[in-house]
Structure 1
């Protein structure tokens, strides 16, 4: 026992081959010559300290890498951590960002409140207006173009190939938030995006029990994001990474079921005379139908149209609240992407920081309800919404 350290290391070595990856909860690891060399070279390759790398986090990242058909992926502490870390990796003081106006509320706050105070210029445009994209990108040297695949909560589908062409012609990097669409429905990298970010808290995890983010794209860029994660401390806890990994094992099964439920619910809501503006890419009158044909993945002839539905009720936000609170199966709660159906009104949750005029400018109607469809039987969910709407006529 004179060589105490090797004996201790051997005691912790696994003697089995687990089917499920272990949770490496250790913050620090035994050092050897390879680890010391890695420390001296920046600490990106070997596992020796948890803020730099963790085996459980790596396993979860590899699952997302494969789902997005990316060269590499790296996990972060949250979706906003992925977005902020990616932008701070790409931008230098004085750089310019052109971003969609239709984005998640906290993303908007980062773009219009925080980035300008840090020395970056930001211009927002209507995500559906290609002429506006061209004009904004041409108005000055642009470093980053930023858009959500399916906008939160309007479900405006971005014309990713066209926006990628506009960005690349100007020498800009296209960053796409694919949280709402997920790689099951859209693979932005295959359509011209340079890097993809996710709130892995949502559909990738799928069980509303872990907060996480992920960045996927070219290995060199992801490596630079990893450097910023180390510096900024936006690293992911290994237990949360395990929960994301676990959720990804049923990702395609969940998305297939939730997609079909959303398709059925959207059709049922469209048939009501007290509901207007139902938004789901499967609907015949979806205003981005032509884009959907080019952007969405398919199952045979059927488009994979996503698990999110947005609709507007007559009577404005107050009636929308009353309708939500009549629901018995769907849960009124923030977030999305879980096995349970979640509903919220943007005016008092995801986009509460916007004024009413700012919400309307972002195509968020008064009385809009956002629905994240879970895996419940679609007939039960449709009955739940019809009952709640009938009770609040």
Structure 2
């Protein structure tokens, strides 16, 4: 064939070649579009294109595989993936806050960007937002009863202070008022609690964190009953917050070791929390598995026995400057944002996740000067604890 001869048209038909047998690992369907047939056309006309695969902004087999795994973990009828955790939260709230009931009652103790959505972006769209203390049931009841409410929003375990919201009690309050309870369970994970089982209507996660578990992907997920999930998915399609198939594969891969990773990390977190309680340079430790945990009774009601999770928050003497000094001396734990990976990550909320809050707002959210947030990984527990103790001891002035 001469250099001027065009290549065969079959070169564009590589998708025709598929494996004859079923693979152990789901393929990455890195395709924006799929061949149409009568079944696909029927799905488009009758179901909006959400069941069959014909365009990856609507649905993709690899993305669906990851979503199905998470639905199983949460005991949900259905799940849908999004391009990030914030995409999952924003799309869910904008879907549910329609019609006459454009009001949300939310916990004050939430992730920094979630707070920005609640106090800045939703009000700009004409949505009323009332925020209450996450662990004050009387405040929840009063706020929900104050005006017609569509959504009640809380984090299962709050970021970063690890307050545990009584989801079962708040679900009753929400449902009595005709509202839906939406729970961000990123910190808690399905390893420790299933919010749907205690009354939540929708659960969201930053799948970037523990679900994927390797700090190499940005993703979000929404789980609920099939009807609600489908409605949120329709909004996601319109807003364009779909997840890339390769990112979905990375989430799926991480899910295969979810229980093993969380078991190891939770064991380490408990050991670290116990040692920190005894350290003279630590003024407070927050971990749901400790006997002295402030919301122990709620933990016993909601969380699986012996599963306190992988997050530990503690406060060091000397305030924020000392906290920074401690982080800079760590060699095993890494100073970085995010959480939920196989490596231990540490951050100070005042200059990362909650940098936009004033000192008064930090205090109101129980974020003390000198607080550090640890996301325990799968390193050897004693090695990690020794690293933390060395950092604490090394920052004490002689």
* TM-score between both structures, scaled by the size of structure 1: 0.96
TM-aligned CA distance change 1:48 to 1:312, over 3 Å: same
Shift of 1:39: 2.1
Residue number in structure 1 paired with 2:6: none
Residue number in structure 1 paired with 2:269: 262
CA displacement, residues 274-320 of structure 1 (integer Å, 9 cap, x when unaligned): 1012000111211001111101012xxxx211100000011111110
Confirm or deny: 8 A CA contact 1:93 1:119 kept in the other structure.
Answer: no
Residue number in structure 2 paired with 1:14: 19
Residue number in structure 1 paired with 2:377: 374
TM-aligned CA distance change 1:137 to 1:61, over 3 Å: same
Residue number in structure 1 paired with 2:127: 120
What is the CA–CA distance in structure 2 between the aligned matches of 1:180 and 1:44, rounded to whole Å? Answer: 30
CA displacement, residues 330-371 of structure 1 (integer Å, 9 cap, x when unaligned): 000000000000000001111111112111111111110000
Match of 1:109 among 113, 116, 121: 116
CA displacement, residues 9-36 of structure 1 (integer Å, 9 cap, x when unaligned): 8733322321110100000000001111
Structure 2 unpaired stretches of 5+: 1-8
Structure 1 unpaired stretches of 5+: none
Report the 3-state secondary structure (helix = DSSP H, G, I; strand = E; otherwise coil) of the residue aligned with 1:138.
helix
What is the CA–CA distance in structure 2 between the aligned matches of 1:134 and 1:159, rounded to whole Å? Answer: 12
Shift of 1:75: 0.4
Residue number in structure 2 paired with 1:171: 178
Match of 1:71 among 70, 77, 95: 77
Confirm or deny: 8 A CA contact 1:185 1:304 kept in the other structure.
Answer: yes
Structure 1, 63-72 or 87-96: larger mean CA deviation: 87-96
Confirm or deny: 8 A CA contact 1:9 1:30 kept in the other structure.
Answer: no
Report the 3-state secondary structure (helix = DSSP H, G, I; strand = E; otherwise coil) of the residue aligned with 1:336.
coil
Residue number in structure 2 paired with 1:350: 353
Matched, 1:35 2:33: no
What is the CA–CA distance in structure 2 between the aligned matches of 1:164 and 1:62, rounded to whole Å? Answer: 25
TM-aligned CA distance change 1:334 to 1:10, over 3 Å: closer
Match of 2:294 among 259, 270, 287: 287
What is the CA–CA distance in structure 1 between the aligned matches of 2:13 and 2:248, rounded to whole Å? Answer: 26
What is the CA–CA distance in structure 2 between the aligned matches of 1:152 and 1:193, rounded to whole Å? Answer: 19
Matched, 1:191 2:194: no
Equivalenced residues, count: 385
CA displacement, residues 113-165 of structure 1 (integer Å, 9 cap, x when unaligned): 00000010001000010000001101111110000000000000111110111
Matched, 1:131 2:138: yes
What is the CA–CA distance in structure 2 between the aligned matches of 1:240 and 1:276, rounded to whole Å? Answer: 40
Match of 2:56 among 45, 50, 59: 50
What is the CA–CA distance in structure 2 between the aligned matches of 1:289 and 1:89, rounded to whole Å? Answer: 34
Report the 3-state secondary structure (helix = DSSP H, G, I; strand = E; otherwise coil) of the residue aligned with 2:212.
coil
* TM-score between both structures, scaled by the size of structure 2: 0.95
CA displacement, residues 75-113 of structure 1 (integer Å, 9 cap, x when unaligned): 000000000000011012661100000000000000000
Report the 3-state secondary structure (helix = DSSP H, G, I; strand = E; otherwise coil) of the residue aligned with 2:383.
helix
Structure 1, 109-118 or 350-359: larger mean CA deviation: 350-359
Report the 3-state secondary structure (helix = DSSP H, G, I; strand = E; otherwise coil) of the residue aligned with 2:31.
coil
Report the 3-state secondary structure (helix = DSSP H, G, I; strand = E; otherwise coil) of the residue aligned with 2:329.
coil
CA displacement, residues 45-80 of structure 1 (integer Å, 9 cap, x when unaligned): 110001000000000000000000000000000000
What is the CA–CA distance in structure 2 between the aligned matches of 1:107 and 1:11, rounded to whole Å? Answer: 44
